[in-house]
Amino acid sequence: MAHHILEMPITEEKARSLKIGDTVTLEQTLFGIRDATLIHMFDKGRKVKFDLHGHAVIHTAPNVHRVPVSNEAPVGYKPFCIGTTTSMRMERFTHDLMDREGVRIIVGKGGMGPDTLAAFAEFGGAYLAIVGGAAALETTWIEQIVDIDMDDLHPESLWKFQIRNFGPLLVGMDSHGGSLYADLQKDVASRRDAVLKSIGAV
């Protein structure tokens, strides 16, 4: 296992160097995205103003405060609580997010499934896990909201965060077919079958 400090954006080669069990700290830029954002991008054909190639996205709909525009808040938003939402329901968008938009890294909670794993293998990417309940800590890693797109979907807008020392995060899925979530499911199924067999239920 290794620790990687990734200054975003990154190359395909760098994304493919990540292996499950490694840890990662992200630097510079992170984009916030969620269900409504993805639905408008891919189901409704909306184009985004940001270049996401090589970047990381986090599944979030942040709690922010409206403030006067200033050097510290260039688009009039200040981060208050930037939590992470469950990723699995956004599974169907991963391929297009990587193919059309060039995203390399997904940060989220709870893992994703086989379609995401296949997209990581095809394009070179990884899933970085955040433990649920860590929103207060995550927020300290975000220095500023530097820009925003699709603000009519607020809070499920497309957010551009300036970050510093965002992590360490655990590589839960990689581009080599590795998935801590799939491994866990297999282990649970094996243990369940053993228990059922021990009580004569199978």
Tens-digit pLDDT profile for the chain (202 aa)?
Answer: 899 999 999 999 999 999 999 999 999 999 999 999 999 999 999 999 999 999 999 999 899 999 999 999 999 999 999 989 999 999 999 999 999 999 999 999 999 999 999 999 999 999 999 977 788 899 999 999 999 999 999 999 999 999 999 999 999 999 999 999 875 555 544 555 555 455 666 6
Residue 3 forms beta bridges with which residues? 23
Alpha carbon distance 95, 3 (integer Å): 26
> What pLDDT does residue 63 have?
93
Report CA Rg, the chain.
Answer: 18
Q: What is the pTM of this model?
A: 0.90
DSSP 93: G
> What pLDDT does residue 1 have?
85
What is the DSSP pairing of strand 158-173 with strand 142-149?
antiparallel
Of 189, 186, 190, 168, the C-alpha closest to 21 is: 168
* Whether 56 contacts 30, CB under 8 Å: yes
